[in-house]
Amino acid sequence: MFGREEALRALREAGCSREVVQHCLAVERISLRLARRIRANGHKLDLRRVSLGALLHDIGRARTHGIRHGVEGAKILRGFGLSKFARFAERHLGAGIPAGEARELGLPARDFMPQTLEEKIITYADKLVTGRRTASYERALDWFRSELGPEHPALARFKALHREIQKMAGPG
C-alpha cells in the first residue's frame, strides 16, 4: 500500500529540494490537524488521503516554482502511477483557479478549483504555511492582497474557503 514513506520517496525521486519537502511536511501537519477537527464534528473524510495529498501537493516544484507547478506536479504524479493524487497538485494553487482565470494565466483552460473536502483542506492549509513556518489566516490574507491586489477574485475565494473550513472545524 502506498503510504507516507512512499510519498516522501516520490518527492525526493522527482527532485524536490529539502525546503519543498519541509514545506509539504508542514502542510501535512496543519491539514491533518484541521481534518481531525472536521471529522470530529461529523464530516466524512479520508485522513490517509489528506496526509498523502498534502505531502504530494507541491511535487511539481521539482520542475518549476511558477504557476505551472500544479500542472507539472499532476504530470509527475501520473508518471509515477499516482493519478489519484494528481488533483491535489492541480487544485491547490491560490484558493483554486476557475477556467477563465486559468486561461489568462497560461494554464490549460479548465477549472482548477478544489472540489473534495480533502482538496479544500489541503488548499487552505497550504496558504497557512510560508516555507515551513505556520502563518495566521490574517497573514495569508495580507499576502493575497499584496501579491494580487485588494480586488483580485482570489481574495474572495480565499475568504470563502476560510469560512467553509472554519465552519466545519469549529472553534479551536
24-49: pLDDT as tens digits: 999 999 999 999 999 999 999 999 99
Q: Dihedrals φ, ψ of 79, to 5°? A: -65, -30
Residue 55 has pLDDT above 90, yes or no: yes
Indicate the pLDDT class of residue 132, thresholds 50, 70 and 90: confident
Nearest CA among 101, 118, 108, 116 for reference residue 154: 101
Is 113 strand, coil or helix? coil
3-class state of residue 1 by DSSP: coil
Q: What is the mean pLDDT of the chain?
A: 97
Asked if 169 and 34 count as a contact pair (C-beta separation under 8 A), the reply is yes
Q: What nine digits make up the cell of 51?
A: 496526509
DSSP 8-state symbol, 66: S
SS3 label, residue 23: helix
Structural domains of the chain, ranges and CATH numbers in brackets: 4-169 (1.10.3210.10)
In this prediction the pTM is 0.96
Over residues 57-105, the pLDDT tens digits come to 999 999 999 999 999 999 999 999 999 999 999 999 999 999 999 999 9
